[in-house]
Amino acid sequence: MKIQERTGPGGNRSATSAQPAMGERLPTPPRERKPALAALAVLLILVGALGATMLVLRAGDRVEVVKVTSDIQAGESVGDHVISVLVAEDSSINYVKWNQLAALKKLKAKSPIYKGTVVIGDMFANGAELPAGKASVGVALKEGQYPSGIKSGDTVAVYRVGDTATGGSRSSGSSNSSGSASAGADGAPIVEKAKVGSVKSDTDSTISSTNLPVTLIVDEGQAAAVAAASSAGQVALVIVPGN
């Protein structure tokens, strides 16, 4: 007895995979929108742009002020040891403007000012007091008794010269233990290291003179020997290391 196999509709089809045909794309889930993150990104961009704009504006708001190029001791003038620099304007800081340099040169430092310092008005005053133990001595020098180009702030050695130089040892008793050797004896300087407080050029006075007035800052104990040599016209200055 034959048993007839019955096949339903589609019975002749072979079983196939449910995977999509080649080249078809899988469906992607819809993107989740995050408006908060987008708003934050826009806000950060705006803040950055605003900050950059402020920096540009601040960079253009500058003033030209005075900066010292070498150490200045108390009681000294800035002389020519200055340059101009640009700094951000700040009304809370009493900068000395570059156009005030002429007036600044007439003032004296209240205390030591070091190389690279931007000058403010509080650092200087009229007739500032000298440091303890120091004295200011004026000398009048003839040509040949001082180096060319000597200026305020220079460090110099003070020598007694002339026929009576060897007699300078009589004044050596006026120098203190921290000073130099005897005044001019055996070629020793009256003062090994003195600071030039000021140098008065011919343009500083309407009266022309063959002598160059120089103010020296020395130890108190050395002042008498320097003054005595100066009054005799026997002072000579030599620039030494320390400038």
Burial of 137 (0-12, 13-18, 19+ CB in 10 A): buried
| 211 membership: H or E segment, kind and range | none
All structural domains of the chain with their residue ranges: 62-125, 134-239
Domain formed by 62-125, architecture: Alpha-Beta Complex (3.90)
Tell whether the model's pLDDT for residue 81 goes beyond 80: yes
Cα separation, 139 vs 235, whole angstroms: 8
Give 6-32 pLDDT, tens digit per residue.
555 555 555 555 555 555 666 666 666
Average the pLDDT over 120-126 and give the result.
87
User: Confidence band (pLDDT; 50, 70, 90) for 125?
Assistant: confident
Determine the residue type at 198: S
CA–CA distance, 109 with 73 (Å, rounded to integer): 7
Binning pLDDT at 50, 70 and 90, where does residue 139 land?
Answer: very high
Contact status, residue 70 vs residue 243, Cβ threshold 8 Å: yes
pTM, two decimals, is 0.47
Segment 208-242, tens digit of pLDDT: 457 899 989 899 999 999 999 999 999 999 998 87
> How distant is the alpha carbon of residue 139 from its chain centre?
31
Highest mean pLDDT among 28-42, 48-62, 167-181, 187-201: 187-201
